[in-house]
């Protein structure tokens, strides 16, 4: 895009790069907001269908405009700041959540070469940015100066930090196998993993299928989706860390949460299921643009997320911590050893 | 040009947020300013081409260490008036440390004026085209392997020490026995009775 602004429009290189980057950001962020609105609708519809209800069906055809109506309603409401709240941090918290959910998309490759920032530490960038997500929640809980939000914030912080450890080890094993932190190269490394049946996707390798499942579950915990939604367990904590929020500050949490969910679906698809590659390495399938394959995978994983939300009961908090620290952490740590051991074994007799 | 703007932006914010860290009255605000300082320091690292260190700085310090700080600070019940009276007690140490830092900065500036460090004579010169992560890995796992392992052991000892210090047997608590919970079947826990009409269930 830089070359387009540089040669076709005739801007100097620096400005062309600047304009191209801004355009790229808008090109990702604006459709993402639309996608969040539609995915909330999809979530409610899937959930309703599994509970044998009809779900949103009044606003617009099939209720398609429901999310926009909700957005408008929230936008027109008054922003209430509790008198005892810490004003600055109270308003900062939803902005952090929302921003962090958006900045991670900079390194997600949508197609071969279609990525905003093709940096060679892409996966570390994702880890770094997602570790910032804790701050939005913990600050909102503390600055509300209210019991339940604070409990919820502590729960959320402990939960996210715990599962980030497991996610880190899972990602390390993926990085070891594909030999790069760059997401585009991780996707390329998943091309035709079996010599006989050329399937694309790391998870089709039996060594990595357990990792893919663990990553999916950790992603649920990381985004605080059911069955790990203890932070907003309404029977215990009212609405969790967002209890005191209203109007746009509440909407920012809402948008950030769902943007994070889509991001985790995208990461599942990119890291384990071949990203923008079609499922099988077969020439006619490459006619379909890669971005369609990626979206199909994202939507599939979102369906899985909604399915789990509709069917699985909420975890107890000690079970959640046990799963994170006593099951996922040792298993993923062992897998790092296993993967590196197998890689070393495959290299025996081959020059380094 | 853009590098200069970015450098001055990051550097100014680092200094400003450092100053705010020690001068803001609310400890939680202090931690937030500290996080901003870490963040901009990471930006400076990116500018000098150490993107791996920058990301690690954000992951480790911002993502983990500062969260723990925040945890502790939020849970503390702080008496602000008492804090201010204690400032005098620590003023001498603070001034001493500040003076030491100032001297160090001056020595660094003089040394810089004498000429740059001869990069070609470093212990382990690295090809500039090799990415950060590879370069670090090549050094850590060959030349500095023992130091690296030793650092790992220090961390392990620290971890064990923390566990030993905080671990205690708690009498009178009933721990979750997960295996037993999982092994429990409905027919062991429930009983199906068909009471006759007019009679209740005898327990």
DSSP A9: S
Pairs of CB atoms within 8 A across A/B = 63
CB of A140 closer than 8 Å to CB of A305: no
pLDDT value for B140 = 83
CB of B62 closer than 8 Å to CB of B43: no
B133 touches chain A (CB under 8 A): yes
The total of other beta-carbon atoms located within 10 Å of residue A218's CB is 25
Q: Which residues of B touch A14 (CB under 8 A)?
A: 1-2
pLDDT value for B154 = 95
Distance CA A148, CA A240 (A): 6
- Tell me the nearest-neighbour CA distance from A309 into chain B, angstroms: 22
Q: Which residues of A touch B77 (CB under 8 A)?
A: none
Q: What is the dihedral of CA A292, A294, A298, A303, to 10 degrees?
A: 50
CB of A277 closer than 8 Å to CB of A200: yes
Domain residue ranges in chain B:
1-78, 90-123, 127-166
DSSP A106: G
Q: Which residues of A touch B72 (CB under 8 A)?
A: none
Q: Which residues of A touch B132 (CB under 8 A)?
A: 120-121
Buried b (16+ CB within 10 A) or exposed e, A17-48: bebbbeebeeebeeebeebbbebbbbbbbbbb
All residues at 6 or more sequence positions from B155 whose CB lies less than 8 Å from its CB, including other chains: none
In which residue are the tokens 């989706």 written? A225
CA B107 and chain centroid, separation = 29
- Tell me the nearest-neighbour CA distance from A328 into chain B, angstroms: 16
Closest alpha carbon within chain A to B3: A14
CB of A97 closer than 8 Å to CB of A258: no
Distance CA A93, CA A249 (A): 9
Range from A134-143, A194-203, A271-280, B49-58 carrying the lowest mean pLDDT: A194-203
Closest CA to A255 of A18, A76, A95: A95
CB of A168 closer than 8 Å to CB of A127: yes
Return the higher-pLDDT residue of A171 and B133: A171
Distance CA B30, CA B19 (A): 10
Interface residues from chain A to B (CB-CB < 8 Å) = 14, 86, 89, 119-121, 124-125, 127-128, 131-132, 134-135, 138-139, 142, 150, 154, 157, 161, 164, 181, 318, 322
pLDDT value for A231 = 77
pLDDT value for A244 = 79
ipTM attached to this prediction: 0.76
pLDDT of A352 strictly over 70: no
All residues at 6 or more sequence positions from A103 whose CB lies less than 8 Å from its CB, including other chains: A129
B1 touches chain A (CB under 8 A): yes
Angle (CA) B49-A114-A31 rounded to 5° is 110
Closest alpha carbon within chain B to A135: B67
Distance CA B174, CA B197 (A): 41
Q: Which of B40, B53, B74 to mutate to test the interface with A (most CBs of A within 10 A)?
A: B74
CA A16 and chain centroid, separation = 30
Return the percentage of chain A with pLDDT > 70, whole number.
96
Domain residue ranges in chain A:
77-351
Range from A80-84, A168-172, A192-196, A327-331 carrying the lowest mean pLDDT: A192-196
What is the maximum alpha-carbon separation in chain A?
A: 70
**Backbone angle region of A63, left / alpha / beta, with phi > 0 → left and psi within -120 to 50 → alpha:** left
Distance CA A169, CA A175 (A): 10
Tell which CATH classification among 1.20.120.1200, 3.40.50.1980, 3.40.50.720, 1.10.3730.10 matches the domain B1-78: 1.20.120.1200
pLDDT value for A282 = 74
Q: Which residues of A touch B28 (CB under 8 A)?
A: 86, 89, 142
pLDDT of A180 strictly over 70: yes
pLDDT tens-digit map of A28-66: 888 888 888 888 888 888 888 988 888 888 887 888 888
Distance CA A329, CA A321 (A): 11
Closest CA to A82 of A245, A308, A252: A245
- Tell me the nearest-neighbour CA distance from B66 into chain A, angstroms: 10
Range from A144-148, A202-206, A310-314, B153-157 carrying the lowest mean pLDDT: A202-206
Closest CA to A185 of B185, B15, B16, B133: B133
pLDDT value for B84 = 67
Q: What averages of pLDDT result for each successive group of 10 residues across chain B (203 residues)?
A: 82 90 81 88 84 85 82 73 70 88 88 68 62 79 88 94 88 82 84 82 73
Mean pLDDT of chain A: 83
- Tell me the nearest-neighbour CA distance from A301 into chain B, angstroms: 26
pLDDT of A9 strictly over 80: no
Q: Which residues of B touch A89 (CB under 8 A)?
A: 28-29, 32
Q: Which of A18, A124, A222 to mutate to test the interface with B (most CBs of B within 10 A)?
A: A124
Q: DSSP letter string over A71-101? A: HHHHHHS-----TTS-HHHHHHHHHHHHHHH
B73 touches chain A (CB under 8 A): no
Nearest Cβ partner for A134 among B1, B67, B132 = B67
Residue A78 in tokens: 């008054």
Looking at beta carbons, which pairs linking A323-330 to residues 24 or more positions away fall under 8 Å? A323/A217, A323/A221, A324/A159, A324/A162, A324/A163, A324/A165, A324/A166, A324/A218, A324/A221, A325/A162, A328/A163, A328/A166, A328/A214, A328/A217, A328/A218, A329/A165, A329/A166, A329/A169
């Amino acid at each position: 895009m830089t070359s387009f602004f540089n040669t076709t429009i005739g801007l100097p290189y620096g400005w062309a790069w600047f304009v191209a980057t801004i355009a790229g950001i808008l090109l990702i962020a604006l459709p993402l907001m639309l996608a969040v609105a539609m995915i909330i609708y999809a979530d409610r519809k899937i959930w309703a269908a599994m509970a044998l209800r009809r779900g949103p069906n009044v606003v617009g055809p099939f209720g398609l405009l429901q999310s926009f109506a909700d957005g408008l309603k929230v936008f027109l409401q008054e922003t209430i700041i509790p008198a005892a709240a810490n004003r600055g941090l109270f308003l900062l918290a939803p902005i952090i959540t929302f921003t962090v959910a958006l900045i991670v998309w900079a390194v997600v490759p949508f197609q071969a070469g279609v990525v905003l920032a093709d940096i060679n530490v892409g996966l570390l960038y994702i880890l770094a940015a997602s570790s910032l997500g804790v701050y939005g929640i913990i600050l909102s809980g503390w600055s509300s100066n209210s019991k339940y939000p604070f409990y919820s914030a502590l729960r959320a912080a402990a939960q996210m930090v715990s599962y980030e450890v497991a996610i880190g080890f899972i990602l390390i094993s993926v990085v070891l196998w594909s030999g790069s932190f760059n997401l585009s190269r991780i996707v390329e490394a998943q091309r035709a993993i079996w010599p006989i049946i050329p399937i694309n996707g790391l998870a089709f390798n039996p060594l990595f299928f357990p990792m893919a499942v663990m990553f999916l579950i950790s992603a649920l915990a990381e985004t605080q989706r059911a069955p790990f939604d203890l932070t907003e367990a309404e029977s215990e904590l009212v609405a969790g860390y967002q209890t005191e929020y209203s109007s746009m500050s509440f909407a920012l949490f809402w948008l950030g949460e769902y943007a994070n969910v889509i991001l985790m679906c995208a990461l599942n698809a990119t890291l384990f299921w071949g990203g923008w590659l079609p499922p099988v390495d077969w020439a006619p399938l490459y006619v379909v643009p890669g971005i369609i394959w990626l979206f199909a995978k994202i939507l599939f994983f979102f369906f899985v997320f909604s399915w789990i939300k509709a069917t699985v009961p909420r975890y107890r908090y000690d079970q959640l911590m046990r799963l994170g620290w006593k099951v996922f952490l040792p298993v993923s740590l062992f897998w790092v050893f296993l993967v590196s051991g197998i890689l070393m074994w495959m290299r025996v007799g081959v020059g380094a | 040009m853009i590098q200069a703007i970015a450098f001055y932006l990051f550097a100014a914010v680092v200094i400003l947020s450092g100053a705010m860290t020690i001068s803001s009255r609310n400890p939680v605000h202090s931690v937030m300013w500290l996080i901003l300082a870490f963040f901009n320091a990471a930006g400076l690292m990116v500018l000098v081409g150490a993107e791996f260190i920058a990301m690690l700085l954000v992951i480790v310090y911002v993502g983990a260490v500062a969260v723990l700080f925040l945890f502790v600070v939020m849970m503390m019940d702080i008496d602000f008036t008492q804090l201010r009276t204690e400032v005098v007690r620590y003023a001498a140490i603070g001034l001493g440390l500040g003076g030491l830092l100032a001297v160090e900065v001056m020595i660094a500036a003089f040394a810089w004026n004498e000429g740059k460090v001869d990069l070609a004579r470093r212990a382990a010169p690295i090809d500039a085209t090799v990415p950060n992560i590879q370069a670090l890995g090549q050094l850590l796992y060959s030349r500095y392997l023992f130091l690296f392992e030793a650092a790992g052991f220090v961390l392990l000892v620290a971890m064990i020490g923390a566990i030993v210090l905080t671990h205690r047997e708690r009498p009178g608590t009933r721990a979750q026995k997960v295996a037993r919970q999982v092994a429990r079947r409905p027919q062991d826990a429930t009983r199906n009775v068909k009471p006759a009409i007019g009679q209740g269930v005898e327990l």
